[in-house]
Amino acid sequence: METWIGLMSGTSMDSVDAVLVSFDNKTIHIHDTLSTPYPDSLRQRLALASQNQATPDEVGELDTLTGLVFAEAAENLIRNTTVDRSSIHAIGSHGQTLRHQPSGPGRFSLQIGNPAIIAERTQVTTVADFRSRDMAAGGQGAPLVPAFHKHFFSSETEDRCILNLGGIANITWIPACNREPVTGFDTGPANALLDAWCLDQTGRPYDEGGRWAEEGTVDQGLLGDMLSDAYFSRPAPKSTGKEKFNLEWVKTQVHRHPGIRPEDVQRTLLKLTVITAARQMPQSPSMSVYVCGGGAQNPLLMKELALAISPARVLNTETLGLSAQWVEPVAFAWLARQTLKRKPGNLADVTGAKGPRILGAIYPA
């Protein structure tokens, strides 16, 4: 049995999710999972670095320290499983995104978490740096998970929209019977702003269950100002990150509305996530929306989303056989598999690249 490990840490910068998985045609078998939190001090340093508040020496050190956490996550997963280490073909590591700048003459996407350390510590071949080749071919380098969604979540009878509510929200549109190309892009902020505002105002790293937001009401003036941001009307392909949508972005918007309560801002940010995702989804009478990422655990967010896109159904990706938390780590295990089998990992219709490309850099065991 050929198994693979996927490692993922998103823009929330809270932990490294590790999954041990095997693939059988279009069936996914998860053998073990493990979530390894970042030490608080490292998380704080990563947050500062992502806002350009770090020297080159500090970025280099963070690359090593983050690589050690990724390696620890993979090694602990291997140690805890009954699957034989020799059957693990490779590790696919997304790394930790520090900056994503997909436009301009010096466009780049920077993920840290030194993959050489992962390969050395685990003695398992490691594939990383998935975004660079797509960007070299003229693409955004993101989102990359739609190729995985297409392979495993396509339907003959149902138009499907896969909505990832991570730090940033992104959609993958999969028409039934592949009658049209699969498309996808980042719709805008999700947990990145909800978490940042909650931490700034309450000291809590996130609004558990959306309970704090539920105490507030949507401020229509603030919402209107937020929705006027040019990103939301920009055509695809497009991608974004915390370098665009961050706490300072929120505070700039809130400054125009003195006297607004913090909980009202939180509720308005939740509404912003819902509206920007819903407005940018294709319209189809047979569509179902399958949600993954941390936002799937927020009942208020899911309720508001269901109201916004009714009569389309809103479901968890668990109904497709894959838990919402593990979709992205499994995707990067699959992308590592694509790399080693010399198969493309991107969708040019999604990223805007000149064509399909084999992604990733390989660090042999």
DSSP assignment string, 95-137: EEEEEEE-SSTT-EEEEES-HHHHHHHH-S-EEE--HHHHHHT
Using CA atoms, how far apart are residues 4 and 216, in angstroms rounded to an integer?
Answer: 44
Closest by CA position to 351, among listed 361, 362, 359, 342? 359
- The pTM score is 0.95
> Which residue in this structure is represented by tokens 């896969």?
162
CA distances from 348 to 143, 150, 181, 207, 277 (A): 11, 13, 10, 36, 21
Residues 184, 84 share a domain: no
57 Cβ neighbours under 8 A, 6+ residues apart: none
Residues 337, 301 share a domain: no
Q: Which residues are annotated as a binding site?
A: 10-17
Strand partners, 36: 16
The pLDDT value given to residue 14 = 83
Range of the domain at 348: 3-140+325-363
Residues 232, 184 share a domain: yes
Residues 197, 275 share a domain: yes
The pLDDT value given to residue 247 = 96
**CATH number, domain containing residue 101:** 3.30.420.40
Residues 27, 167 share a domain: no
Using CA atoms, how far apart are residues 113 and 116, in angstroms rounded to an integer?
Answer: 9
Residue type (1 letter), 260: I
Residues 203, 59 share a domain: no
The number of beta carbons lying within 10 Å of the beta carbon of residue 192 is 28
Phi, psi (deg, nearest 5) at residue 354: -70, -15
Residues 185, 271 share a domain: yes
Q: Which residues are annotated as a binding site for ATP?
A: 10-17
Residues 154, 119 share a domain: no
Query: At 28, is the secondary structure helix, strand, or coil?
Result: strand
Residues 198, 68 share a domain: no
Residues 79, 93 share a domain: yes
Residues 246, 346 share a domain: no
The pLDDT value given to residue 26 = 87
Helix, strand, coil distribution of the chain in percent, nearest 5: 45, 20, 35
Domain count, the chain: 2
The pLDDT value given to residue 284 = 85
Per-residue tens of pLDDT for the chain, all 365 residues: 899 999 999 877 889 999 999 999 889 999 999 999 999 999 999 999 998 999 999 999 999 999 999 999 999 999 999 999 999 999 999 999 999 999 989 999 999 999 999 999 999 999 999 999 999 999 999 999 999 999 999 999 999 999 999 999 999 999 999 889 999 999 999 999 999 999 999 999 999 999 999 999 999 999 999 999 999 999 999 999 999 999 999 999 999 999 999 999 999 999 999 999 999 999 888 899 999 999 999 999 999 999 999 999 999 999 999 999 999 999 999 999 999 999 999 999 999 999 999 999 999 99
Residues 310, 188 share a domain: yes
Q: Which of 320, 336, 353 is the last residue of a domain?
A: 320
Largest Cα–Cα distance in the chain? 61
Using CA atoms, how far apart are residues 195 and 298, in angstroms rounded to an integer?
Answer: 12
